[in-house]
């Protein structure tokens, strides 16, 4: 697990991990980067592409040959990749923090349990290797 302190550092860390795997011989289409939401998906795919790494956002479509798949943790359910990066683990947006603060204790506990379960399911998408970037 790699701990970073900013979005820029997170994007750099994800790029370094993916580049290392590709340089080590892993085909790009055997790699996925899983994120919490579509905005983060766009940022990560854009950063990978800008860094010269072949990446593609996956929404409803299927993963593309010769490209690293960047998809939300929800969308990743039912998929499997050789290597997976979980990006932005532990980070919540200001809007999400406000939403959680408005919940009563039991609802907040349920929301936390659902979030942890989603990260668990996302982590199990990795067949051979998992990297976690925590912000």
Pair of tokens at residue 134: 């925590």
Q: Indicate which CATH number applies to the domain containing 26.
A: 3.40.50.300
Q: How many CB atoms lie within 10 A of CB 25?
A: 7
Give the chain's domain count.
Answer: 1
pTM over 0.85: yes
Could you list the residue range(s) of the whole structural domain that residue 38 is in? 2-134
DSSP 62: P
- List, for residues 45-101, the tens digit of each pLDDT value: 999 999 999 999 999 888 889 999 999 999 999 999 999 999 988 766 666 667 777
- The answer to whether 33 touches 44, Cβ cutoff 8 Å, is yes
**For residue range 87-135, what is the model confidence (pLDDT) as tens digits?**
988 766 666 667 777 878 888 788 788 888 889 999 999 999 999 998 7
- CB within 8 Å of 31: residues ≥ 6 apart: 18, 21, 22, 68, 69, 81, 82, 83, 84, 85
């Amino acid at each position: 697990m790699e701990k970073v302190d900013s979005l820029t550092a997170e994007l750099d860390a994800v790029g370094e991990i993916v580049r290392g795997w590709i340089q080590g011989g892993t085909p790009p289409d055997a790699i996925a980067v899983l994120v919490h939401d579509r905005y983060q998906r766009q940022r990560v795919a854009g950063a990978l592409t800008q860094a010269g790494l072949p990446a593609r956002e996956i929404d409803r479509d299927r993963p593309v040959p010769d490209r690293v798949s960047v998809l939300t943790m929800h969308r990743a359910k039912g998929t499997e990749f050789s290597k997976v990066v979980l990006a932005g683990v532990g980070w919540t947006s200001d809007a999400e923090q406000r939403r959680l603060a408005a919940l009563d204790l039991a609802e907040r506990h349920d929301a936390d349990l659902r979030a942890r379960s989603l990260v668990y399911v996302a982590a199990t998408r990795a067949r051979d290797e998992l990297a976690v970037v925590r912000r």
